[in-house]
Amino acid sequence: MKTIKIILTLFIITIAFSCKAQQISEYSTKIIGTWMEENSSYKLVFLSDGICKEFENSELITTYNYTIKNESCKNFQASNTIYLEWVDNEDNKKTCFEILNITDDSLSLMIIDRAKNLFFNKQ
């Protein structure tokens, strides 16, 4: 009986990790493209090579290296959470976002250390 419980537990953990990896892969694909913040001239362009370009009024502000992950981001960790982490190429400042939702045409992020939500539409 004890063996069955251990096998079942390992099976559930394996499925959970597999689903999370699949979700990260899906988010990594969906995020590629140009995203305009709602009612704003603020724009993010995510490239497939892990680069994100930040624009305001069509002027490049800065460039980031980004990753999408489910592990701790700047010591923030919640179960079943996917994070977008980016590092500023100029000053190496790291910023963490919780990905609240991503679809083919909308992106919702929360800046974790400010608890501020951002809403974007894909262009």
pLDDT in tens, 28-43: 999 999 999 998 999 9
- CA torsion angle 2 4 9 11 (round to 10): 160
Are 15 and 8 in contact, with CB atoms under 8 Å apart? no
What pLDDT digit, counting tens, does each position of 50-94 carry? 999 999 999 999 999 999 998 877 666 665 689 999 999 999 999
pTM of the model: 0.78
Q: Which of residues 49 and 114 earns the better pLDDT score? A: 49
d(CA 108, CA 27): 12
Fold of 2-122: Lipocalin (2.40.128)
pLDDT band for position 15 (cuts 50, 70, 90): very low
Query: How confident is the model at residue 114, as a pLDDT?
Result: 87
d(CA 51, CA 49): 6
